[in-house]
Amino acid sequence: MTVIRVALPVPLRQHFDYLLPENSSVTVGCRVQVPFGQRQLIGIVWQIDPDSPFEHCQLKAVSHILEDAPVISGTLRLLLSFAAEYYHHPLGEVLTAALPALLREGRQLRDYALTGYRLTAAGEAAQSSDFKRSAKQLALWQTLQTSPLAEDTLLQQHHRSTLKQLIDKGMVVAETLERQPYAYQGLAQTPLQLTVDQAIAVSAVQQAYGKFQPFLLEGVTGSGKTEVYLQCIAPLLARGEQVLLLLPEIGLTPQTLQRFVQRFNVPVLAWHSNLSDGERLSCWLQAASGSAAIVIGTRSALFLPFRQLSLIIIDEEHDLSLKQQDGFRYHARDLAIKRGSLEGCPVLLGSATPSLESLYNCQQKRYVHLELQHRATGQSLPPFELIDLKQQQLQFGLADSSIKQIRGQLARGKQVMLFLNRRGFAPALSCQDCGWLTECKRCSTFTTYHKHSRQLLCHHCGASRPIPRQCGSCGSARLAPVGQGTEQLEEHLQQLFADTPVTRLDRDSTRRKGALGELLKDINQAGPRLILGTQMLAKGHHFPFVTLVVIVDVDGALYSADFRAPEQLAQLLTQVAGRAGRGNDKGKVLLQTQHPEHALLQDIIQNGYAAFARSALLERQQTTLPPYQHLALFRAEALQSDLCQQWLQQVAELCQAYNGLQRLGPLLSPLERKAGKYRWQLHLYSQNRPLLHHALGHILPEITRWPLSRKVKWQLDVDALDLS
């Protein structure tokens, strides 16, 4: 009997051997159903006839072989194997993370085959005169004259009832169709005239077709990076090849999807977590067959099984959302570079505020650096004006001079955007008598007051509770909101500017399906409007009528202990500011602060992001922080704080054996308690990446054998970005 080695979706860093039933065969990369304890699990065949340490009589038999052809093969298999090794994550969990939910559940692929319809012999023998009584049946019969058609294509033009009538007459029959690669039908829209910088960028990428070459496209906000993407893609579509575009946020997908659909006469598909399981599987199948020309998706779209992937684009490559923050903690940008090398295709990273890691790779000549230094419209970048809040009267958190300038722009029929990175009505409720504040019972943080839903909500663990009627300390009924969130500012703006519509964009206002699209549609109509929101506003949106951006409160981010905080704040400020003046009118940015003299604010305002990033890189080099060192982060969580500290101390002692490995910790996490558990960290740094991974490869098997490892929840985060 044949032994196969199977990768299973369990948190164990090992494979499992099983016996194949007699007279059956299987291919590496296929799914099988196998017994695992009391359960039946879906796994991926990873090896056939491995050197197994077990006798046949000790092995269980495979329950079911789910398909003949592999669902994971070729370059995708190599990519996932590399990812499991690099991020030190169990291979079985990595492989299943790359599959649509329906395949993880064990659904048969044949149940999702493409259904089509063709004429029977009776249908082919029919005459147009046979359909005198039904013009609809005649039209459908004529449509099927040339070739069979897929069901979804057919039903775009004809009613299902008409189809059923012809089936009942024996003129049409259903059949299974092979999914075919897409057919290119030319451009649906004329490309825009490129600037000199754009033309240079497009030419450089096109010259790299057919080989691996990473590019960093650093373009100021409004410089036309999307047009560069579109014109880089066009020649590949004419050759029948495929393109992947990764975006950091679901919210950007509909807007970008629309622009690509308007330009190209090819199938453009979306991939993100808001799709149904069936929609995701359909996208997966179309990518694999080549019937999808372009896929626009969030980070997990990187694992789609493309038939002929020829270009990978990562927009907003600096965005933290490209890093998975739980489970399999991969970075989509970094794995995209690896996939590009395996596929032998160029990878284009785009951003107005590139990450320091990507700029470092340009300095090291690993990436080709392309720059768009001017806006495509010819408009200059909006200037900053610092509003010193110590010198101003405030109304609802807005300085008098800010309100005056807002009124001036609205009077001209323009739009004003206000940025406040706190959703909800207020960060907490406070007792007016004793100063007590509403805190989360499970986290070391305050609960946010949401007035519309009448709840206190923890934005860290998601716990919610009703608004208390009295103080939890002294019993007073005098509770009032402290601070300001987007809900409260929206109310105040409606009072201050009663005749102007206010549109709020945050996670609460866009929760309902289709809500974001409706809000963006309102914003894209000319006329005075106030647009208010959180960092969702900074994610690449094009608001042509916004001439003034007001950053309401920046001070909370100025004094963070995280070494990446200055970079992230500089990126956020630059991206938010970039929403102003993208149309025909000049823009301006007001930055309200209690600390106008702060060095970071002065650097961004006086010199811009590019100069800040170069000086920040020099500072990182002097302090030997990433990207000049490589970071791996161990996290531990438990109901008892001392268990975490003890476990991480044992890990730190284990690391002492490796010279060149620097340790920081164990340390309490900045958010000490979350969802009822205490949180600690251990940072491992090394200038030698292979040494760091060698050490982790030896440390992890040892850790899993410790009895204490079963008492704490622990994770390893390679190239960690979130240090909270």
As a whole number of angstroms, the distance between CA 104 and CA 40 comes to: 12
As a whole number of angstroms, the distance between CA 299 and CA 297 comes to: 7
Residue 585's nearest CA partner among 412, 405, 417 is 412
8 A C-beta contact, residue 423 and residue 448: yes
CA-CA-CA-CA torsion for 495, 500, 505, 506, nearest 10 degrees? 0
**Does the annotation place 431 within a ligand binding site?**
yes
As a whole number of angstroms, the distance between CA 295 and CA 289 comes to: 13
- DSSP label of 686: E
**Does the annotation place 30 within a ligand binding site?**
no
Residue 99's nearest CA partner among 61, 75, 70 is 70
138 three-state secondary structure: helix
- DSSP label of 437: B
Q: How far apart are the first and last CA of the chain?
A: 51
**Does the annotation place 458 within a ligand binding site?**
yes
Q: Give the DSSP letter string of 220-277.
A: -TTS-HHHHHHHHHHHHHHTT-EEEEE-S-GGGHHHHHHHHHHHBSS-EEEE-TTS-H
**Does the annotation place 434 within a ligand binding site?**
yes
As a whole number of angstroms, the distance between CA 367 and CA 346 comes to: 10
**Does the annotation place 655 within a ligand binding site?**
no
8 A C-beta contact, residue 418 and residue 624: no
8 A C-beta contact, residue 655 and residue 663: yes
141 three-state secondary structure: helix
Beta bridge partners of 674: 677
As a whole number of angstroms, the distance between CA 290 and CA 180 comes to: 7
Residue 311's nearest CA partner among 207, 227, 222 is 207
**Does the annotation place 474 within a ligand binding site?**
yes
**Does the annotation place 345 within a ligand binding site?**
no
**Does the annotation place 644 within a ligand binding site?**
no
As a whole number of angstroms, the distance between CA 421 and CA 462 comes to: 18
- DSSP label of 94: H
Residue 461's nearest CA partner among 643, 250, 679 is 679
As a whole number of angstroms, the distance between CA 500 and CA 519 comes to: 15
Beta bridge partners of 351: 218
As a whole number of angstroms, the distance between CA 166 and CA 614 comes to: 69
Annotated binding site for Zn(2+): 431, 434, 440, 443, 458, 461, 471, 474
Annotated binding site: 431, 434, 440, 443, 458, 461, 471, 474
